[in-house]
Structure 1
């Protein structure tokens, strides 16, 4: 259950948020949403894959964190074992929402049902005068970046589909103990078709700002080796 409400100083003057990392706080997830604008940071640590919403016939990008539902191989107790945490994780329990008017600016909302909401411990969202704390200012900036990236994702995926660059991915990972993890339901960039694009197609992708995130997504696949190593260590440690 969620309880999304508009964040205001009047209603949430004393609101605090737990910032530590823990499975009980919602960090035990197999993947999280990302956007092309974030690919440069994400690709340094995580494989970037695509998921298709069959109802809407549209794609979204995700950072892969594990191989099974509820598995985050970067979560080590109360520590996130990577230098960069994807925005979709780092902004929780906040989200961006509309104000009811298409012309009005977006607003910060908060999920009051999130386990990150704290009574006494945690980071304050507003100070004693009702002004946003530096933490909330950072969150608002992150939300803006994520929203802008989300708005631009449709053009990115339209370009990939136009050039037939998306292909389904089925990956079987055999661990050191002989067990097999099978990854299905994801898509990736078809590198053969990417290499076969002519100069005009590459120029179009570059002009529209899609070429760099496309290369970032391709480069991120190299992180599978490190992710499998994390899985082997997790299994060995029991």
Structure 2
């Protein structure tokens, strides 16, 4: 169960965080949220799919790491085999909280995260504050990424509204037959409807361009080329047991 707390130098002066990669540290996941603002970087490595959130009656974008729950095909022998990781993975165990009295967003930390080094952990992990209570370069980088993630989240609403306005998402069901004959299925996801996008008139395309939505749309389409590599990773994983 999560245990969120506002990060402060007073309460967390000696806090250390593990930054290595392992399934037991929270990296063993099939996918994570991806913001449209980071699609250009995400699409270099991962397929980007969309999923409907029935509770909010809206869509979210996901960077896909595998085909099954808790499967990350980019994680091999505690090494994340990719040049880029989505912001949602990079900021753990931190998150953006509510605004303080001055209106500034607060940094929160999940003290129940396996990335938190226990007090008995010695010098393991990276310090969040230095001996004088100042943010370390590590924390400054985390704060920067949290800001980017929050900005991306705020801007995502307009992006998904535009996709809905022009009916640009279509359901995807992907059946994958592996080299050993076993099958995997991705169901319940959506992708950009390329045919509908091509059929849009100049006014619609101009509207999407003016809103800054064409680039993430094209990046999401380009990312689907990574499905073949994801299948290849799955075949290698199965072959190696």
Q: Give the TM bin, normalised by the shorter chain.
A: over 0.9
* Residue in 2 that maps onto 1:154: 157
The residue correspondences of 1:89-104 to structure 2 (distance < 5 A) are 89-99=89-99, 104=103
Q: Are 1:187 and 2:215 counterparts? A: no
Contact 1:21 1:77 in 2 (8 A): no
State the Cα distance separating 1:185 from its structure 2 match. 1.4
Query: In 2, distance between residues paired with 1:72 and 1:62?
Result: 13
Cα distance, 1:198 vs structure 2: 0.9
- Deviation string, structure 1 residues 141-197 (Cα, Å, up to 9, x no partner): 000000000011110000001001011111001100111101011111001001111
Which residue does 1:130 correspond to in 2? 133
Deviation at 1:99, TM superposition (A): 2.9
TM-superposed deviation, 1:37? 0.4
Paired residue for 1:211, among 210, 214, 219?
Answer: 214
CA distance in 2: counterparts of 1:226 and 1:55, whole angstroms: 32
For 1:154 and 1:99, how far apart are their aligned partners in 2? 20
1:71-82 alignment to 2 at 5 Å? 71-82=71-82
Structure 2 partner of 1:114: 113
2:229 aligned with 1:223:
no
1:100: how far off?
5.8
CA distance in 1, matches of 2:162, 2:18: 39
Q: Does 1:35 align with 2:35?
A: yes
Over residues 56-105 of structure 1, what are the superposed CA-to-partner deviations in whole Å (9 max), with x where a residue is unaligned? 1111111000000000000012110000011101110000011366x711
Equivalent residue of 2:135, what SS? coil
Q: Distance in 1 between matches of 2:185 and 2:78?
A: 28
**Contact kept in structure 1, 2:128 and 2:136, CA below 8 Å:** yes
Aligned residue number for residue 146 of structure 2: 143
Q: SS at 2:224's partner residue?
A: helix
**Structure 1 residues 125, 96: closer, same or farther in 2, change over 3 A?**
same
Structure 1: 4+ residue segments shifted above 3 A? none
Which position in structure 1 is the counterpart of 2:2? 2
CA contact (8 A) 2:100 2:106 kept: no
Counterpart of 1:10 in 2: which secondary structure?
coil
Distance across 2 between alignment mates of 1:3 and 1:173: 38
Of 149-158 and 91-100, deviating more is 91-100
Q: TM-score, normalised by structure 1?
A: 0.98
Extract unaligned runs of 5+ from structure 2.
Answer: none
Structure-2-length-normalised TM-score: 0.97
